[in-house]
Amino acid sequence: MFSETDQNGFQKLLVKMLDEEENPLLKFSSKFKAEKMMHSILTNFRLEPNFKKIDNAFHYNKRMQEVLSKFVYPHNNFFIIDVGRGGTERSAIQIENGEYKGYGFFEPAYINHPEELKK
């Protein structure tokens, strides 16, 4: 899912195939899933094209940015840490360069640095 500005200065969302040099707002495993999410964002947050007639570009684009900030994480590399399978065990999901890399389980007592989670 990408964002572009139309000829009237309004920010719009569009779904297209990903080129290696492009940097999308969000990535999806299928065009259908991307279009479904785009429709959901536009409908639920009142960003459909008919609302452009009510707002000026500045206010519409400000609302669009507020909504998109809820879906786009500002960091490319991070771990999502959650509960594990039991006891003190924790789970970790690795995101690297904005893409899912894998998951695993660990005991917090044996991890001193986030880099150790990669192992």
Assign 3-class secondary structure to 32-73: HHHHHHHHHHHHHCCCCHHHHCCCCHHHHHHHHHHHHHCCCC
Ranges of each domain in the chain: 2-69, 78-118
pTM metric for this prediction: 0.61
Question: Whats the size of the chain, residue-wise?
Answer: 119
Beta carbons of 34 and 25 less than 8 angstroms apart: no
Return all residues near 16 (Cβ < 8 A) that are at least 6 apart. Answer: 2
Average pLDDT over the chain, rounded to an integer:
87
HSE-up of 106 (CA within 13 Å, CB side)?
21
> Which of 15-19, 40-44, 73-77, 91-95 is the least confident region?
73-77
Instruction: Render pLDDT for 31-76 as a digit per residue (tens, 0 to 9).
Output: 999 999 999 988 888 887 666 666 788 888 888 888 888 877 778 8
